[in-house]
Structure 1
Amino acid sequence: MSTSAIIAGALWMVALWRLPSIRHSHKQRSLALTLVALAAAMTFEVPQVKEAVDAVVGAEVRLAPLLKQLLGVTSAAYLLDFVIAVVRPQGLARRTRLIAAGVTLPFMLIFYALANWMPGGPVRLGEGRGALFPVLYMTVFTLYIGIAMVVSTWLFLGGIRHSRTLLGKAGLGFLGLGTLLGSLYAFQRIAFVTIQLSSGTEYPDLMNLLSTTLKQATVLSVAVGVCLPPLSVATEYVAAWFTLRKLRPLWVQLTEAAPYVVLATSVRRSRVPFRLERCVIEIEDACLALREYVSADTYTSAQQFVLPQAGNAQNADAVIEACWLRVAVQSARNRERLRGVEYPPLGVTGRDKVSELSWLRDVARAYLFSPIASEFARTELPSNIQAQGDSEGSLT
């Protein structure tokens, strides 16, 4: 199997994988059409496909190269549309881009039909009135590809710093590398044509080697770049699932004591990131509600109980949080809210999303498994309940 066949097959796999997303959004539609057009273009580089096309329409028509390059322009147009939708959602020169693509494709067809093609390559000058049209055809094609790739490279590489995930950054980097190689492909074609027309010197083997290498490297870089962001989404999904599993037992304990914080709307099990976000919100709401069952004195007692026994400061803070939460959960089942007292501070306050999840995982681990938190609850609860009984007796 030839290299071109392997690349075309890999591209079709990626294109068919992304094709269902065509209905999701404008940028997903542009990406899917980019991949389909690119896969179709590379298919016409497969020797068996070119031979089959030539057998149907005749080798002198040169239909396979025409279709390949028309599809190349189409894929470049959609790729530029995709990167603008990702990096510049407010838009960028939409009318100019439509006019450029709308002019390039018809001119390519016209120049191709009028060209007096000669054996040995698309830029060889023929004789008669059609002698210059092969050059005009390649000029229009190469200029569009080159400009589209340069602009795409600028946008892809400039958008790396805005991506929030490592795989997202890597995906944009590979896409930027692919379009940079596409720019080099266009520039080297222009350079060889210029040398040939100005001096009559030809380097067909070198030109074919560079063209093929740059073209295939471009396609592979774009394919890898397209695959990495979905992997980032999958990685985030798996991480959210694991975090949800770790937080769920804490959620059960806290919402049993404060069931009114649980939202009534059901969520599908497959929506793991949304379920995690909702779980975090309900845990924090439950903590806020349960503060009213303990006083700041309980928090101070927890500090005095935990700090001599705990290790690092972060773990100690999480254990302290778990201590007063355990007392609050038990108190919520046995007595009314405390009034006119200062409540414990919430450890989650003022954290960003990443540190918030890390903090809640530490608290959940301490709440469920820390012997210090269990011991504190056993020693603290009787005095709290007795204090509540004394308070009720004095009121009567």
Structure 2
Amino acid sequence: MNTPTVVAGALWLVTLWRLPSVRHSHKQRSLALTLAALAAAMTFEVPEVKAAINGNVDITGLPPLLKHILGVTSAAYLLDFVIAVVRPQGLARRTRLAAIGITLSLMLVFYALANWMPGGPVKLGEGRGAIFPVLYMAVFTSYIGVSMIVATWLFLGGVRHSRTPLGKAGLGILGLGTLLGSLYALQRVAFVTVHLSVGADYPELEDLLSTTLKQTAILSIALGVCLPPLSVAVEYIRAWNTLRRLQPLWERLTEAAPYVVLSTSIPRRRVPFRLERCVIEIEDACLALREYVSADVHERALSFAGRKTLEDAEVDAVAEACWLHVAAHLARNSRRLEGVDYPPLGVTGRDRPSELAWLRAVSRAYTSSPAVEEFSRQEQMPASPSADGPERVSHDS
């Protein structure tokens, strides 16, 4: 199997994968159309396809024309995509529409007027029509070069704004692909300039550079397009895993404070939204349950966890789970306390990653730490008069 066939096949696979996203947003639609145009353009480089078109259509150089038109179209959609990602407010939309319209029109006019040499790829013509192939290639190359340079600038500039490592890598690889596309256009200009100025031709070198840069650029763009969706998939799996780990804590706390649970149901597939709601309800339950214990319980929980030779990173989470366990028990059998200081919430003041890590640690301690059960049993035993003073809250289990 030859390289053009492999490249075209890979592009069609990526295109089919991204096709359902066409209806999601303008950004996703531009991306899907970019891939479809690239895949169709590379299909016209497959030898069997070119042979079939040349054998059935009596128009010289039709496969290269179709390939170039699709290449220009894909560059326009790619530029539209990167602007939607990096500059949502837009960038020179009327200018871009005018540029693509003028480019396609001039390409068709110069193609019709050119005296093309029969067979093979597009070559410079002979006789009176010799200037038109030059103009045709100049228009095509200029649009590709300028659009790829602008896209490279936007892609690489957007890397620092991406929130995920895979997103940064995707934009970086897309920027590399468009940079290679710019180099493809520049080397085409260089070879034509050398030919027109000194009459020298280097067909083998030109074909090698052109093919290598073009295929590498297209594959880089295809790979870069795949990474941001993979980032979304990774975030989805991470959210599902976090939700699974927080579910036991949510069940215990909302059983003690059921009124914090929102009534609206959420589809199971909306995992990030379910995780957000789970976190909110856990924190609301903590706020409600802290009114059943005093800050002294929290202090005793810290002291108790510290004596259990736990690692420093576990002490605070185990202490949090200890007083929550006691509060959940008291919420079923007692009234709220008034006129006392309540325990501080360990989740307060944390950023999002730290907040989720903290809640996972508390959930793990609440459901599996023997220290939590032991502390809760001690707190539920009747207090002796000489124990910890009158402020200790004690109840029979």
- Specify the TM-score bucket, using the shorter chain as the normaliser: over 0.9
Q: Quick one: which amino acid aligns to residue 102 of structure 1?
A: G
Asked if structure 2 preserves the Cα contact closer than 8 Å seen for 1:335 and 1:388, the reply is no
| 2:235 match | 236
Q: Quick one: which amino acid aligns to residue 158 of structure 2?
A: G
| 2:126 match | 126
For residues 264 and 312 of structure 2, what CA distance do their matches in structure 1 show? 38
Alignment of structure 1 residues 152-191 onto 2, 5 Å: 152-191=151-190
Deviation readout 1:111-135 (Å, 9 max, x if unpaired): 000011235763524102x220000
Alignment of structure 1 residues 16-95 onto 2, 5 Å: 16-58=16-58, 61-95=60-94
| 1:352 match | 351
SS in 1 for 2:266: coil
For residues 278 and 225 of structure 2, what CA distance do their matches in structure 1 show? 32
Post-superposition offset of 1:258? 0.3
Post-superposition offset of 1:174? 1.1
- Unmatched 5+ stretches in structure 2: none
For residues 103 and 367 of structure 1, what CA distance do their matches in structure 2 show? 67
Asked if structure 2 preserves the Cα contact closer than 8 Å seen for 1:123 and 1:135, the reply is no
Between the aligned residues of both structures, percent identity stands at 69
Q: Quick one: which amino acid aligns to residue 10 of structure 1?
A: A
For residues 381 and 76 of structure 2, what CA distance do their matches in structure 1 show? 73
RMSD of Structure 2 on Structure 1 (CA): 1.9
Post-superposition offset of 1:391? 11
Asked if structure 1 preserves the Cα contact closer than 8 Å seen for 2:159 and 2:172, the reply is yes
Asked if structure 2 preserves the Cα contact closer than 8 Å seen for 1:104 and 1:141, the reply is yes
For residues 274 and 103 of structure 1, what CA distance do their matches in structure 2 show? 46
For residues 239 and 303 of structure 1, what CA distance do their matches in structure 2 show? 30
Deviates most, 113-122 or 200-209: 113-122
For residues 263 and 12 of structure 2, what CA distance do their matches in structure 1 show? 45
For residues 50 and 390 of structure 1, what CA distance do their matches in structure 2 show? 86
Asked if structure 1 preserves the Cα contact closer than 8 Å seen for 2:27 and 2:85, the reply is yes
| 2:145 match | 146
Asked if structure 1 preserves the Cα contact closer than 8 Å seen for 2:379 and 2:393, the reply is no
Asked if structure 2 preserves the Cα contact closer than 8 Å seen for 1:44 and 1:50, the reply is yes
Asked if structure 2 preserves the Cα contact closer than 8 Å seen for 1:21 and 1:32, the reply is yes
For residues 287 and 382 of structure 2, what CA distance do their matches in structure 1 show? 23
SS in 2 for 1:131: helix
For residues 236 and 288 of structure 1, what CA distance do their matches in structure 2 show? 28
Q: How many residue pairs were aligned?
A: 390
For residues 110 and 27 of structure 1, what CA distance do their matches in structure 2 show? 32
Post-superposition offset of 1:20? 1.1
| 2:10 match | 10
Post-superposition offset of 1:308? 2.3
Q: Quick one: which amino acid aligns to residue 156 of structure 1?
A: F
Post-superposition offset of 1:17? 1.1
Post-superposition offset of 1:313? 2.5
For residues 368 and 51 of structure 2, what CA distance do their matches in structure 1 show? 70
- Unmatched 5+ stretches in structure 1: none
Post-superposition offset of 1:195? 0.5
